[in-house]
Amino acid sequence: MIKPWINILIAAVFETGWTYALKYMNFSQLKNAYQADSLMSKSVGMELVPFIAYVISGGGNIYFLSLALKDIPTSTAIAVWTAFSLVMIKICDIFIFKTSTSLMEFFFMTLIIVGIIGLKNYSAS
């Protein structure tokens, strides 16, 4: 019964994408670009990218999480999904966005990963 856990992992990837889309989305710039130019202009198109990523990531997140919730207890699924998302966001911050990190942050991320493994191995399902 590995598929529900893969669905949680996929949902967490979409959640990570959703988080960064939300971070870079700017409705006021989108509104200004739309008012100044037509919908097909380059400026509006560039402002639409985070919004489109937001919608697609949110939909994928909900879809795959709902699949996982059918086979894994809700509290376990939400805990693992949140933990996966948190770890992936931190990894993206470190390696893609070059955010500084400390040894203690790595230690606590390791604890989160150990918790995920424990929940997966000792889950009631």
Per-residue DSSP letters for the chain? --HHHHHHHHHHHHHHHHHHHHHH--HHHHHHHHHHS-TTSHHHHHHHHHHHHHHHHHHHHHHHHHHHHTTS-HHHHHHHHHHHHHHHHHHHHHHTS-----HHHHHHHHHHHHHHHHHHHH---
Tell me the percentage of the chain whose pLDDT exceeds 70. 91
How sure is the predictor about 4, in pLDDT bands with cuts at 50, 70 and 90?
Answer: very high
Asked if the model's pLDDT at residue 67 lies above 80, the reply is yes
How sure is the predictor about 52, in pLDDT bands with cuts at 50, 70 and 90?
Answer: very high
Average pLDDT over residues 33-41: 67
Render pLDDT for 79-103 as a digit per residue (tens, 0 to 9).
999 999 999 999 999 999 999 999 9
Please tell me the pTM assigned to this model. 0.85
Residue 39 has a pLDDT of 61
